[in-house]
Amino acid sequence: VVSKTLAQNKAVSVTIFAFAKGEEIGTHDSTGDAMVTVLEGTGRFTVGGVEHLVHAGETLVMPAKVPHAVYAPEAFKWLLTVVFPDGYED
């Protein structure tokens, strides 16, 4: 897994990932809502026990505090944007 954080502060994190076929990130959760956009290839995202195949050009939202995992059935690249509601200042 190769990743590069493009932007990060208390409110948001934007990271780009590249997975080789067969690579994965095991089940975990986040305190922020996450949006995934697949840039190339296809990834398998399991969110709350439900599998989603996400293809290039498609987007998936993963709600905060819901367990999720990522698997690469083929090489793929994706962009992850996480919004942390508690990070916003009024």
**pLDDT tens digits for range 55-72:** 999 999 999 999 999 999
CATH of the domain at 26: 2.60.120.10
Residue 5: count of CB within 10 angstroms of its CB: 10
pLDDT band per the 50, 70, 90 thresholds, residue 86: confident
Domain count, the chain: 1
Average of per-residue pLDDT across 23-43: 97
What the block records as the tokens of 31 is 């305190």
Domain span holding position 66: 2-85
- What is this structure's pTM? 0.92
C-alpha span between 84 and 41 (Å, rounded): 28
Amino acid found at 7? A
Residue 90 located in a structural domain: no
C-alpha span between 45 and 27 (Å, rounded): 10
pLDDT at 34 exceeding the cut of 70 = yes
